[in-house]
Structure 1
C-alpha cells in the first residue's frame, strides 16, 4: 500500500521537510519551524531577502549606494552572504523534481518562498477566492449520520487549518460551538451536558 501523498517520508530535525507539490500549507508551517530551529536569522532572510553588501559612493555632492566589490567583503559580509545561500539551499533540499523545476531559476530563499506561495496559494485575488470558498464550506459544514466524531472533526480541522494558513484563523471557541451545533440528534443529550458545563 502506498503512503498518502503528504506522508511519504518521516519527519527529521536534521533534514528539511519534503514537498512534492501537495499540501503546501503543511510545508509552509514545517519549513518555518525547520528554519527557525536551524537558525532564526534564516527565516528573516527568507522573508526579507538576502543581505547584499553595499558601499556609499560619492559623485560630487551626491552619495549613492553601490554593490560592494567582492574583494572588499569583510568577514561579517561573508557570514551574512553565507546565511543567504543557506536560506536558499535548505528549502530546495526537500523539494521534488516538479517543484524544483518551478523554483530552479530563483536566486534567493525569498524568491523560492514567493514562487511557491504564488503557485500554491495564488495571487491575492485567488487567495481571497479560496478564503471565500473555505469560509462557505465551514459555514455549511454538517456531520453525516454515518460519520464518526473523529472523521467529522478531521474534515472540519482540514477546513480550519487551510483558513489559518491563508491568514483567516477561526478561534477554537468558535470551532467548539460549531461542532456542538452540527452534531446529529443522537448526540443531543451529550451536547446539552457539555453546554451546561
Structure 2
C-alpha cells in the first residue's frame, strides 16, 4: 500500500472531519490508530486448549509477522507523520501571512515597528523560513507609511 507524501492543508473550522477522511482514505484502520492507539498484531494461541469454542488470542511475535502485519503495525507511524506534517505547516503559513500583510500602524513608533518586525522575522527563521537582506529591506520599505 502506498501512502501519499503530499499532505493537504485544511481550514481550522473543519480540520478534524477532513483529516479523518484523509486518513481513512489512506487506510481504513488509520483513524482508529489515532483514536485508539497502535494496532496490536494478534493470533490464536494454539498451545492452550480451546474453551467455550473461542481460542485464546495472544500477541503475535515479530518473527511471525507477514507483510500485511508489518503494514498494519506501521500505521501508527504513518498517521503520526501525516499529522506532524500538517501541524508543522500551520504556524509557518500563519507567520508568512502575517509577514506578507505587515504594515506599520499609524500610531506606532519606528522602534515599536522594528521590534514587531524583528520578532516576526525571527519567528519565521525558527520555523525554517529565512529571507535575505534584500527581501527584508524591501519588506520594511513597503510596510512603512507613505507620509
TM range (shorter): 0.3 to 0.5
Q: Which protein has the bigger helix share?
A: 1
- Which structure has the bigger radius of gyration? 2
TM-score (norm 2): 0.40
